[in-house]
A and B are shown apart, each in its own frame.
Chain A
Amino acid sequence: DGGITQSPKYLFRKEGQNVTLSCEQNLNHDAMYWYRQDPGQGLRLIYYSQIVNDFQKGDIAEGYSVSREKKESFPLTVTSAQKNPTAFYLCASSIQQGTREQYFGPGTRLTVT
Chain B
Amino acid sequence: LAKTTQPISMDSYEGQEVNITCSHNNIATNDYITWYQQFPSQGPRFIIQGYKTKVTNEVASLFIPADRKSSTLSLPRVSLSDTAVYYCLVGDRRAGSYQLTFGKGTKLSVIP
Q: How far is the CA of A65 from the CA of B102 in the complex (A)?
A: 22
Within 8 A of A (CB), among B44-102: 44-46, 49, 87, 89, 91, 97-102
Min CB gap A9→B, angstroms? 9
25 residue pairs of the A-B complex, CB under 8 angstroms, read A35-B102, A42-B104, A42-B105, A45-B100, A48-B97, A48-B99, A56-B97, A90-B43, A90-B44, A91-B43, A97-B98, A98-B97, A99-B98, A100-B32, A100-B46, A100-B91, A100-B98, A101-B34, A102-B44, A102-B46, A103-B46, A104-B44, A106-B42, A107-B42, A107-B43
Interface residues, chain A, CB within 8 Å of chain B?
Answer: 4, 35, 40-45, 48, 50, 56, 58, 88, 90-92, 97-107, 109
Question: 19 other contacts beyond A42-B87, A45-B101, with CB at 8 A cut-off?
Answer: A42-B102, A42-B103, A43-B44, A43-B102, A45-B100, A56-B97, A92-B43, A97-B97, A97-B98, A100-B91, A100-B98, A101-B46, A104-B42, A104-B45, A105-B43, A106-B43, A107-B41, A107-B42, A109-B41
